[in-house]
Structure 1
């Protein structure tokens, strides 16, 4: 059983089998050098995830079957990826869109077929969003249970007028990253930093020019402790959903 766009599959059809890879597809970049055996590894990137769901529909007649398939087509049609969850993983969400290769006419003819979903973002997300209050002028320890990197959203309210906001992160792997916003902050100003989108907003207005040149939109490492330090002049919160490969 699965849920898509908030609607349960049991309303429309019977799920026979779900097929998806244990890990999303990946692309490995390498550079070959003349006179050297093999190649130099450069990086690995995750590709899209594909999920196939074998389904069956029972109709009283061919006309009834076609009407049900028309309802299913309306349900599954979307302009962008939508929330997809499975009953055996109720705490995780995939964001998927129905692949154009799905043959609904096959379902009309045979009463069975395969729904093919594509997840442009190959990771599953925790259904519950985590919200943390960050220690002003100190360090907050964040321990992630997920298996993929997390890009948080940080919001901050100015308590004392200042010209700089700084948030940095370190971990057990020796990483040390920081992001700084240079701006004439007044008491009550609102700052939002979205590490996934790579944006900085002050009082709701995009202010990318306020980033210092050595700033990084960094991530939180999975399966380990992250240590986050924030400026003391702000009351700051961090929000994120844990991600899973």
Structure 2
């Protein structure tokens, strides 16, 4: 039976396996800003911290030359300049946007076995990617996960129109004033506040009445003036 491993940056190695002893907080650390006033206390702000993950790993080699080759491959694989998806075989359905944080300074050599600890810093714990099919009439959608999350959308126009709106019942709305034609492909990225039409920036079409909104866990009522696919990734504490 193969040993459990992990995937990082959409790559994995069956030669490197996980050892027992992973340490990880079960949820993101919280920093509460509490304000005192004459009548008591008020919670002003909550900030969620990063998740620290320490995972012991091991691999076997025939000699020191093979060790050097594997270590070089590992550094090419694991050292990145941006957050990359981290997945563990024993946590199916969970994804951590993470970066490698340490230099594996507890590296040990024992006969043919090599082992050490990889330390990752993760933004949050994520789950499945979900698609919502938005229509012109208002419909309720159940947003899964535990935390508010970003979203992207894609719309292909079937007929000319001079305005596009995507909105939710709580007051959030993105309004675009532009002369769209049939076949135009519109994409919106909530996190980046970016609007593209056929791959080109369309920021000038964003109306002043626009109120950007995230997706919140639970039921949300959302609609779009054109058939639209909205995509989000579940986020957990």
Change (3 A) 1:27 1:210: farther
How much has 1:31 moved relative to structure 2? 4.5
Q: Distance in 1 between matches of 2:158 and 2:18?
A: 56
Q: Distance in 2 between matches of 1:155 and 1:58?
A: 47
Report if aligned partners of 1:181, 1:210 keep a CA contact under 8 Å in 2. Answer: yes
| 1:219 alignment partner in structure 2 | 214
| 1:132 alignment partner in structure 2 | 132
Report if aligned partners of 1:132, 1:237 keep a CA contact under 8 Å in 2. Answer: yes
1:115 matches 2:99: no
Change (3 A) 1:68 1:213: same
| 1:235 alignment partner in structure 2 | 227
Secondary structure of 1:91 counterpart: coil
Secondary structure of 2:75 counterpart: helix
- 1:59-92 C-alpha deviation (Å, 9 max, x unpaired): 5566655554444333322232222111222212
Superposition map of 1:166-245 within 5 A = 166-170=165-169, 175-222=170-217, 224-231=218-225, 234-245=226-237
Gaps of 5+ in 2: none
| 2:103 alignment partner in structure 1 | 102
Report if aligned partners of 1:5, 1:84 keep a CA contact under 8 Å in 2. Answer: yes
Change (3 A) 1:191 1:57: closer
Change (3 A) 1:192 1:5: closer
Change (3 A) 1:112 1:213: same
The number of residue pairs the alignment matches comes to 230
Q: Give structure 1 regions of 4+ aligned residues with deviation exceeding 6 angstroms.
A: none
Report if aligned partners of 1:164, 1:185 keep a CA contact under 8 Å in 2. Answer: yes
Gaps of 5+ in 1: none
Q: Distance in 2 between matches of 1:4 and 1:46?
A: 23
Q: Distance in 2 between matches of 1:17 and 1:140?
A: 46
How much has 1:39 moved relative to structure 2? 5.2
Report if aligned partners of 1:12, 1:68 keep a CA contact under 8 Å in 2. Answer: no
Per the normalisation by structure 1, the TM-score is: 0.80
Q: Distance in 2 between matches of 1:185 and 1:71?
A: 48
